Amino acid sequence: MKKRWRHAGLYALLAVVLIAIGTATIPSQQGNGNTPLPMRYSDFIEAVESDQVARVAITSDQRTAQVVENDNSRAVVNLAPDRQLLPLLTSHGVDISVLPEARPPVWQSALLSLALPLLLLGGLFFLLRRSQAGGGNQAMNFGRSKARVQMEPQSQVTFADVAGIESAKLELTEVVDFLKNPDRFTAVGARIPKGVLLVGPPGTGKTLLAKAVAGEAGTPFFSISGSEFVEMFVGVGASRVRDLFEQAKKNAPCIVFIDEIDAVGRQRGAGMGGGNDEREQTLNQLLTEMDGFEGNTGIIIVAATNRPDVLDAALMRPGRFDRQVVVDRPDYQGRLQILGVHARGKTMSKDIDLQKIARRTPGYTGADLANLLNEAAILAARRQLNEISMDEVNDAIERILAGPEKKDRVMSERRKRLVAYHESGHALVGALMPDYDPVQKISIIPRSQAGGLTFFTPSEERMESGLYSRAYLENQMAVALGGRVAEEIVYGEDEVTTGASNDLQQVTRVARQMITRFGMSDRLGPVALGRQQGGMFLGRDIAAERDFSEDTAAVIDEEVKDLVAVAYRRATDVVNRNRAVLDELAELLVERETVDAEELQTLLLERDVRTAEYL
């Protein structure tokens, strides 16, 4: 009953306004009660000329007139724009009068002038009542937190669904155990960390870990993105932080997850003029709420970022984020487990070997592996297959690394042979370099901006440890120069193309890093030269000055040039010593367009090849 009469007043107001508008638009009728009959203008002129008209009452706009004849009969005539009418009426003794302008009553005019404001006010009142009935006035809720709340574990993601990052799972398992059984920790005087910061490259599973915590903890779970705190209105971000922690205190113990916290937690005072902007006010409020005067017992903050280097130091100190959990790229066993998780629900053929896929994908994150299997499934569907085979997986890996094949691109025979020699130079030098990554595949099918590609399988141990020897880096430079060297030997220096531009950039970058960062210079010794410049507004030096002299800079240039020259001579020596194998491999590429690792190894075993030597 209340719902039926909730808007009765508004509907009554709307009805009154509509009645007033309708009444005002109805023209008022004047007369003595007898309805005048219409008269033609020609008949009216004839009646005047025959002296049958006694009186004429003309309206103020001179469009119509009321005619009273001698027998008191009345009529209405529409007047024509005739200048001779008034002299005609005067000459025949017709009594002429002008009717006053018809105006509505005063009350009707006033109500009509108020109709539009009343409609606007009534509509606004209706919208406000409707928004309040639907969950509150959004116009007044700028300062309210936008956190999504799960009062019960509704997430279907658990720790069983998170694979490949066992150490990170162990850290968060302790947090979940504390929430479920706090007495076991407090009995020995342990205090659970107030904040846990998940740090790692994009796609490693930081947000997935937070979802697993929500599924395992069984406590209220608040999730929000760092960018949702910051608005264009002053003070809104700080107000949302206060509101978030007020809600969390009411539901403690609970977990608050802040995704991409670097959006609000960047270092303060990093602007051009210092600054006291809205983001810094939001960060100040967040610091106070996490570990301020009052404290927040029972609230555990879990945040995720892939940019820990830009976070404010006050945010990273103990008492706020006590523990940092590194969610790194998975190793071989981790990738194998992740592939097993993402292979669920996909129709795989019997030749699928997840171990082989895991060994071929070092450095891949969980998101990369999920995308890999999804691309393979798309390729299988496009080829109208009922299951995914290793061919689709291999094609998906190459598609992700180098882009889709462009088989429709027309290549001349000369260009095709040139690309074949270029890629054969890379592959031959790489295969004959001691302690270098094995060749996986050689292709002269264009992909993206590349005319051809040589795929190498990176070493699992090197990628996990991040440790590269000087010999490996020297081999890497020689392999990068192998394509350019092959072009020069086969076609001559005058016919060298720009196809090796990216290779030359890679060689120069590796050589300069060896001299300035890795201390691999005999003349300069084990020193690091040059500051690592940070981006502007990241709390780093805006213009980092060079920390070495002009003489040292000249020595660096000479050392870089010497390293590149040695790599060039080594690549030239390998190609010259194995020219027959280079020609045979190039012809094989021209014929088949792709050569895999097995075919290359068979070719090298059947021929008398000579490996590279250190110069």
Consult the annotation and say whether 117 binds a ligand: no
How far apart are alpha carbons 613 and 215 in whole angstroms?
58
The residues near 592 (Cβ < 8 Å, ≥ 6 apart) are none
Sign of CA pseudo-dihedral 590, 591, 593, 596:
negative
> Which neighbouring-strand residues pair with 266?
311
Consult the annotation and say whether 426 binds a ligand: yes
User: Phi and psi at residue 136, in whole multiples of 5°?
Assistant: 110, 155
DSSP code at position 386: S
Contact criterion met (CB below 8 Å) for 219 and 161: no
Angle at 482 (CA atoms; ends 481, 487), nearest 5 degrees: 100
Consult the annotation and say whether 2 binds a ligand: no
How far apart are alpha carbons 422 and 427 in whole angstroms?
9
Consult the annotation and say whether 295 binds a ligand: no
Active site residues: 423
Give the three-state DSSP class for 69. Answer: strand
Consult the annotation and say whether 200 binds a ligand: yes
Residue 292 host element (H or E)? none
DSSP code at position 66: E
Q: Of 376, 390, 395, 378, nearest to 447 (Cα)?
A: 395
Q: Token pair of 532, please?
A: 């690592």
How far apart are alpha carbons 159 and 211 in whole angstroms?
9
How far apart are alpha carbons 294 and 288 in whole angstroms?
9
**Beta-strand runs (E) in 355-446:** 439-443
Give the three-state DSSP class for 64. Answer: strand
Q: Token pair of 167, please?
A: 């150490």
Q: Of 609, 580, 530, 540, nearest to 269 (Cα)?
A: 540
Residue 27 host element (H or E)? none
**Each residue of 43-57: b (16+ CB within 10 Å) or e?**
ebbebbeeebbebbb
The residues near 537 (Cβ < 8 Å, ≥ 6 apart) are 266, 270, 271, 272
How far apart are alpha carbons 535 and 131 in whole angstroms?
45
Consult the annotation and say whether 93 binds a ligand: no
Consult the annotation and say whether 81 binds a ligand: no
Burial of 609: CB neighbours in 10 Å, binned 0-12, 13-18, 19+ = middle
Burial of 493: CB neighbours in 10 Å, binned 0-12, 13-18, 19+ = exposed
Residue 499 host element (H or E)? none
How far apart are alpha carbons 399 and 390 in whole angstroms?
14
**Which residue is listed with tokens 């490693």?**
204
Give the three-state DSSP class for 554. Answer: helix
DSSP code at position 271: B
Q: Of 155, 464, 165, 156, nearest to 338 (Cα)?
A: 165
Consult the annotation and say whether 173 binds a ligand: no
The residues near 498 (Cβ < 8 Å, ≥ 6 apart) are none
Consult the annotation and say whether 207 binds a ligand: yes
User: Phi and psi at residue 270, in whole multiples of 5°?
Assistant: -95, 0
Consult the annotation and say whether 273 binds a ligand: no
Consult the annotation and say whether 342 binds a ligand: no
The binding site for Zn(2+) comprises 422, 426, 503
List, as residue ranges, the binding site for ATP: 200-207
Give binding residues as ranges. 200-207, 422, 426, 503
